[in-house]
Amino acid sequence: MDKKQLDEEVLKRRTFAIISHPDAGKTTITEQMLLFGGVIRQAGTVKGKKSGNFATSDWMEIEKKRGISVTSSVMQFDFDGKRVNILDTPGHEDFSEDTYRTLMAVDAAVMVIDSAKGIEPQTKKLFKVVKQRGIPIFTFMNKLDRDGREPLDLIAELEELLDIEGVAMNWPMGMGKGLKGLYDIYDHRIELYRPENDDQRFIPLNEKTGEIDGDHPLKEDSIYQQTLDEVELLAEAGNTFNLDKIAAGEQTPIYFGSALTNFGVETFLKSFLSMAPAPASHQLQDGEVLAADESEFSGFVFKIQANMNPAHRDRIAFVRICSGEFEKGMTVTLARTGKDLRLNNATEFMSAQREQVSSAVAGDIVGLYDTGNFQIGDSIYSGKQKVEFEKLPQFTPELFVEVTAKNVMKQKSFHKGMQQLVQEGAVQLYKTYATDDYILGAVGQLQFEVFQYRMMHEYNSEVIMKPIGARTARWIDPEQLDPKMSSSRNLLVKDIQGQPLFLFENRFAENWFKDKYPDVKLKSLL
Ligand code: GDP
């Protein structure tokens, strides 16, 4: 396509991730969005775990067992003149560093919260990474068809626990069995819950008074007056809607609704897509910034999914396109090695099928079949000018195991597999200071299982993993290190760069250490 076409295409892209605690309704709302986008015709097709409706092609065995979907990890559809890419962030069983890294590849995030539960741990963890990136975040308070907590209470908790301003875009008129509708503050209308006729769904509001002009049966309902009072209170005491703050991730627009009954979802989708940014520019390692409307192709690998087809032992490298146009068969340079690669085999992601990709632009994700060329964080580019994106952050691991080779005669394959998988970013490797024993760190249990599986199947090395449990990892300045500081409660190890850190058994151990060595500074990664 020519430059003008390319620019237009890029401006249409909206790429975001949905974050939530398991069971808050992420799958349900994703499905509703895919229905609006015309990608699926029936709800219940995304999560094979529940519907058994999986395309049964070629995934890694371990994935099949756990029901993790590869095809649904990136979904694309057209809506309201925009091309939308949704990147999945898996729930707690499947949680891994990939989940965090996915947040590096999006331009905005949607946070789904169960209105009966409020902020839950998984949401908080993911939110932290989103906040650190400073990208816009849009909140959907779900399950309004059930009795939940007071809306004001939910917003206050969100602001306090997540340290972000909340601004209500609409306001529930009742909840649970008493749910009547949503008072849409920004579109000046009331959206009725389950109206008898769909053409009665919206009741316009007078923009000045905020009330329904003329007669309407709803005006007789006590919930109407109550909502007007609450909205007035909100206008006086709540935060003022501020687009700049939203763009910077300092304020989150909050929408109420019910994904299951498809109430408020379309309004939410339209509204947040109108505010979500087109593909952003990206920071390069040399200090320059690369704009999304550059004509040469560039992108970075944010995730590598291994062995989706056991017969071929292939893996897919997920690439976020940052500029230009991806074309099948194009030749790119891999920034890390300077080598040229021809990209013959690429996949585009839809919800239910994988299709061969023909062309994709900034904001889109392509999956490249990889035979071992790529590492997480790799940059690729087509122009003469070298493009190397900023390094992806490392995340503080929370789970640790001691690892050894079962067969002492097979040390060579053990070390080779270990080295390659660590380089690829599958797990993090540490060595104990005193004895050089191997310790692996991860943010999710799945990473260990994938590691063990791949060691066995790709490197023919059976490994024994002995859990040492959840630990708090804290790095310290090597100059302040004294090996005597180490004990079983605060194990001293070094990372692959040789930097020392302690693995604290728990908060008590960490506090005890801080009391004992008040001058020693303890640092965490992201
Ligand atoms: P996920 O784990 O975040 O993907 O959550 P799911 O979308 O699988 O939803 C978890 C459960 O909550 C399922 O039983 C859904 O049917 C239910 N659920 C989702 N949204 C709503 C809602 O708006 N109202 C009610 N009552 N249930 C919902």
Closest C-alpha residue for ligand 1 atom 17: 25
Look at residue 355 in the predicted model and tell me its pLDDT: 52
Give the CATH superfamily of 399-523: Peptide chain release factor 3, domain III (3.30.70.3280)
Amino acid 310: pLDDT: 55
275-329: per-residue pLDDT in tens?
A: 999 999 999 999 999 999 999 999 999 988 765 455 556 678 899 999 999 988 8
Query: What pLDDT, on a 0 to 100 scale, did the predictor assign at position 373?
Result: 86
Q: Is 258 in the pocket of ligand 1 (CB under 6 A)?
A: yes
20 lines ligand 1 (CB under 6 A): yes
Residue 429 pairs with which residues in a beta bridge? 440
Torsion, Cα 64 67 70 73, to 10 degrees, reads: -170
Q: Quote the mean pLDDT of the chain.
A: 88
pLDDT digits (tens, 9 = 90+) for 306-315: 654 555 566 7
pLDDT exceeds cutoff 60 at 157: yes
Residue 371's pLDDT is 77
Integer angstrom CA distances of residue 174 from 32, 192, 193, 223, 492:
23, 11, 10, 7, 55
ipTM of the complex: 0.99
pLDDT at 72: 53
What's 282-381's CATH class? alpha beta
Which pLDDT band, with edges at 50, 70 and 90, does 91 fall under? confident
Residue 312, marked binder: no
Choice from 19, 21, 23 to test ligand 1 binding pocket (greatest atom count within 8 A of CB): 23
Percent of the chain whose predicted confidence (pLDDT) is above 70? 89
State how far the Cα of 270 lies from the Cα of 140, in Å rounded to an integer.
13
The predicted pLDDT at position 354 comes to 45
Query: Assign residue 326 a region: left if phi > 0, alpha if psi is -120 to 50, beta otherwise?
Result: beta
**Calpha distance 206→356 (Å, rounded):** 50
Q: Do the annotations mark residue 103 as ligand-binding? A: no
Structure confidence at residue 520 (pLDDT): 92
pLDDT at 510 over 90: yes
Q: Determine whether the shortest distance from the Cβ of 277 to ligand 1 is under 6 A.
A: no
Q: Please determine, for residue 4, whether its predicted confidence score (pLDDT) is greater than 90.
A: yes
Pocket test for ligand 1, best of 27, 28, 34, 117 (most atoms within 8 A of CB): 28
- State the average pLDDT over residues 412-438: 89
> In this model, does residue 181 exceed pLDDT 90?
yes
Same CATH fold assignment for domains 3-275 and 282-381: yes
pLDDT above 50 for 183:
yes
Q: What number of residues does the chain have?
A: 526
Domain boundaries, the chain: 3-275, 282-381, 399-523
Greater confidence (238 vs 44) lies with 238
CA 121 / ligand 1 centre spacing (Å): 17
CATH of 3-275, one of 3.40.50.300, 3.20.20.70, 3.40.50.970, 3.40.50.720: 3.40.50.300
Amino acid, res. 118: G
Higher pLDDT, 204 or 487: 204
Q: What is the pLDDT of residue 430?
A: 96
Closest residue CA from atom 19 of ligand 1:
25
For the segment 208-226, the average pLDDT, to the nearest whole number, is 94
Does pLDDT of 357 surpass 80?
no
Q: What is the predicted pLDDT for the residue at 95?
A: 81
Q: What is the pLDDT of residue 416?
A: 92
Mean pLDDT of 180-200: 94
Strand partners, 181: 173, 192
For ligand 1, atom 10: residue with the closest CA: 23
Give pLDDT, residue 347.
64
Residue range 394-404, pLDDT digits in tens: 888 999 999 99
What is the spatial distance between Cα 185 and Cα 235, in angstroms, rounded to a whole number? 10
Predicted local distance difference test score (pLDDT) of residue 206: 96
Question: Does residue 381 carry a pLDDT above 90?
Answer: yes
Residue among 97, 131, 110 at smallest CA distance from 32: 110
Name the pTM for this structure.
Answer: 0.89
Most confident of the ranges 144-148, 350-354, 425-429: 144-148
Supply the DSSP symbol for 400: E
Q: Are 140 and 123 in contact (CB under 8 A)?
A: no
Is 143 annotated in a binding site? The answer is yes
Helix, strand, coil fractions of the chain, as percent rounded to 5: 30, 30, 40
Write the residue with the smallest CA distance to atom 2 of ligand 1. Answer: 23
Which pLDDT value is given to residue 46? 52
Look at residue 175 in the predicted model and tell me its pLDDT: 96
Q: Region 189-207: what's the mean pLDDT?
A: 93
- H helices present in 108-179, as ranges: 121-133, 151-162
The pLDDT of residue 251 is above 70 = yes
The mean pLDDT value for 197-211 works out to 93
Query: How high is the pLDDT of residue 107?
Result: 98
pLDDT for position 313: 60
Percentage, residues of the chain above pLDDT 90: 66
- pLDDT higher for 101 or 52? 101
At residue 482, the pLDDT reads 87
37: its two tokens: 């986008």
Residue-wise pLDDT for 436-461, tens only, equals 899 999 998 888 988 998 899 889 99
Q: Of 187, 180, 179, 184, which Cα lies nearest the Cα of 216?
A: 180
Q: What is the pLDDT of residue 470?
A: 82
pLDDT of residue 314: 63
Q: Give the helix ranges, DSSP H, for 371-444.
A: 411-424
